[in-house]
Structure 1
């Protein structure tokens, strides 16, 4: 199936989804992980990041909590075998999966879990990992790891293992989406759009930023979504500079209201959309229209520029030039990858290239978020816009129908 056909597939609603979509997606994602192991001549990868575990195995267990408390982990071998070390009495989260799987009980050695026994527990954990490697891949010492606390890494190295950067491998694996993944991402985006529509209906003077933001959470959970990474919603003078999280501030008629969804929705896929409105849907001022027109121009100029085969550096160099008055408050990147969460690549502005840029090449099937924030240094308001897209053979296509305020232009 071509990526152009994937776009047609991505418009299918949840009730029309093929029963084998999840099975196909699971097999595709595991193949992508195995390809990275082969490309890096590595026999196995140890995963702690909940998002990486979800990608490789489609299991999810208290992702926010286990992201802070490393208490479940997975090892994927280059031949497709999987060992899952699961949290206490949670083996049921693996039910229904078609994996060559061995389940074990996780050994947690954080201070919260082990207290003064943390060092002893870490030794028990490490001895088991070393033993698994010796039994499953005898003579091999290379093990990729996505994230690991210092005591664990030190134990493995001390006992003869060579640790490789598993996070880089997983980021590369997650870069190119299958048709099935786009279908699942579409379900997340539709849930996110329901939340945005609800916020738009409820947007009126007199409610607080938190009141409004709660509508997105409501629709996400209602439609089977999972969690939201940030609380980026701001109004009035809190829209400049960007990156204020929602507060108890009461909305005033006619002022700007901006938000960034960062929503992990159904199937664990992220919907990352930014829009800016006026409170009460009042007619925007000339200054508000000017800010909006600049942000809209930045997003759409850069979308028109994107092509598979283009290098990250070329895209950064040719991207829309931010006027000097807005440059200081620019967004942190021109665009970034998106999948289950924000993903590789992260494209630096040309002005930031020497300090934060890295090169690579865009591929067909990569999903991206094209970013803009426009607000003058010392200004009282700003506009945040962001569009989620997929790269196809001829360029990029939006994945969301969530409208812009084109009547402001």
Structure 2
């Protein structure tokens, strides 16, 4: 094994130049808010209460401690179908909304979780519920149907006691987010460009003797310095840790000739997600015959299933027509054939045919301007290594446009 020199010459790549104009960004934000309002009207809801920071970002284009607020209920928003957008911001953070044209009113959030309220939960929750109810009655008129994406059950009970009819709102937001505008696609292209620079940096830095974590850190580095935000998982594995899949990066030292696979799950500039998987050998040495076989099958699965996608195809038809996974790889199959993507992994998640469809499949139809990721994992149960590949594509009337142009290992294909 060759020792990895942590002080080797570093790649002198420079930050990318952001091609997105302010007008395009603003147009995307206005489109997203309008999509939410359309879904509210379609569902006959006066408003939606948002706690999920991704949903808040979609509707208001505001971002503050996104990961922290996933588990600390310190920011929330109320979006009316025919009324204002109100955002409750964390303490002393109102300045973060300077110049934001999506939000009509900013208030200070009431945190009634145990972390924020301690033994005053009931008092703070009542204060919160009273404020929400008063606003729904003020701007919703006789329509007291309030959609909610997520909240603590104590607060939901209080809202119901005050006469509000609560509607499950997570699905409403997924439907709103499903169809992308041309401006959104432009923002997504920029995130993918940033992600691909991170992938290339990993490719350039990869050498025997470094740890998985050291390699994975380069993707974070390029994302952050180009205006990205965070990475949702740490799915990078090498050698025997590539089978089974879903093992996150570790301090394992990678050795020459081993397979290394990763899944970016990268939240980049403007909050959009780039979800791309590729596989290489450590040291970029020629693959073994078995590595070629695994890679060729995974590549075939992705390419076959991409070619099927088009507007008007039902989810069930896609599942039924999808590439048949050979029996020896079926046990370790990926969790879905494909899934939607936008600000993060989104609806739909398409189940594999057969028993997977029977237990987890659901109806729906692919539409123009949906963006989806096509997935593959090929690795035998109890096998030595596996291959994870994934491609992000835009659905059009005639098929798909691949949004990622990062190269495949074409010279590996059988």
- Would you say same fold, with TM above 0.5? yes
Distance change (3 Å), C-alpha of 1:216 and 1:16:
closer
User: Equivalent residues in 2 for 1:269-280 (5 A)?
Assistant: 269-280=272-283
Q: 1:184 aligns with which of 187, 190, 202?
A: 187
User: Equivalent residues in 2 for 1:81-230 (5 A)?
Assistant: 81-99=84-102, 101-230=104-233
Unaligned runs of 5+ residues in structure 2 are 1-15
1:374 aligns with 2:378: yes
Give the CA deviation at 1:392.
1.1
Give the CA deviation at 1:393.
1.5
Q: 2:297 aligns with which of 281, 294, 298?
A: 294
Unaligned runs of 5+ residues in structure 1 are 1-12
For the Cα contact (< 8 Å) 1:81–1:99, is it kept in 2? Answer: no
Give the CA deviation at 1:99.
3.5
Q: 2: CA distance between counterparts of 1:276 and 1:138?
A: 56
For the Cα contact (< 8 Å) 2:18–2:190, is it kept in 1? Answer: no
Cα deviation 1:278-327 (Å, max 9, x = unaligned): 00011100100000000000000000010100000000000000000000
SS in 2 for 1:379: coil
User: Equivalent residues in 2 for 1:50-69 (5 A)?
Assistant: 50-69=53-72
Give the CA deviation at 1:80.
4.5
SS in 1 for 2:283: helix
Range with bigger deviation, 312-321 or 135-144: 135-144
Give the CA deviation at 1:130.
1.0
Q: 1: CA distance between counterparts of 2:83 and 2:338?
A: 33
For the Cα contact (< 8 Å) 2:46–2:80, is it kept in 1? Answer: yes
Cα deviation 1:30-50 (Å, max 9, x = unaligned): 110011001111110000000
Cα deviation 1:186-210 (Å, max 9, x = unaligned): 1100110010000001111000000
For the Cα contact (< 8 Å) 1:80–1:100, is it kept in 2? Answer: no
Q: 2: CA distance between counterparts of 1:400 and 1:123?
A: 49
For the Cα contact (< 8 Å) 1:371–1:385, is it kept in 2? Answer: yes
For the Cα contact (< 8 Å) 2:60–2:103, is it kept in 1? Answer: no
Q: 1:306 aligns with which of 306, 309, 316?
A: 309
Q: 1: CA distance between counterparts of 2:56 and 2:342?
A: 14
For the Cα contact (< 8 Å) 1:34–1:80, is it kept in 2? Answer: no
1:394 aligns with 2:398: yes
- Cα RMSD for the two superposed structures: 1.0
| Count of matched residue pairs | 397
Q: 2: CA distance between counterparts of 1:161 and 1:26?
A: 29
Give the CA deviation at 1:254.
0.3
Match of 1:49 in 2: 52
For the Cα contact (< 8 Å) 1:14–1:187, is it kept in 2? Answer: no
Q: 1:39 aligns with which of 42, 53, 60?
A: 42
Give the CA deviation at 1:127.
1.1
Match of 1:22 in 2: 25
1:353 aligns with 2:357: yes
Give the CA deviation at 1:137.
1.8
Match of 2:369 in 1: 365
Give the CA deviation at 1:134.
1.6
Q: 1:335 aligns with which of 323, 333, 338?
A: 338
Instruction: State TM-score, norm by structure 1.
Output: 0.96
SS in 2 for 1:174: helix
SS in 2 for 1:20: helix
Match of 2:7 in 1: none
Range with bigger deviation, 19-28 or 223-232: 19-28
Give the CA deviation at 1:389.
0.3
1:326 aligns with 2:329: yes
Q: 1: CA distance between counterparts of 2:25 and 2:63?
A: 14
Instruction: State TM-score, norm by structure 2.
Output: 0.94
Give the CA deviation at 1:105.
1.0
For the Cα contact (< 8 Å) 1:144–1:163, is it kept in 2? Answer: yes
Give the CA deviation at 1:219.
0.2
Give the CA deviation at 1:139.
2.1
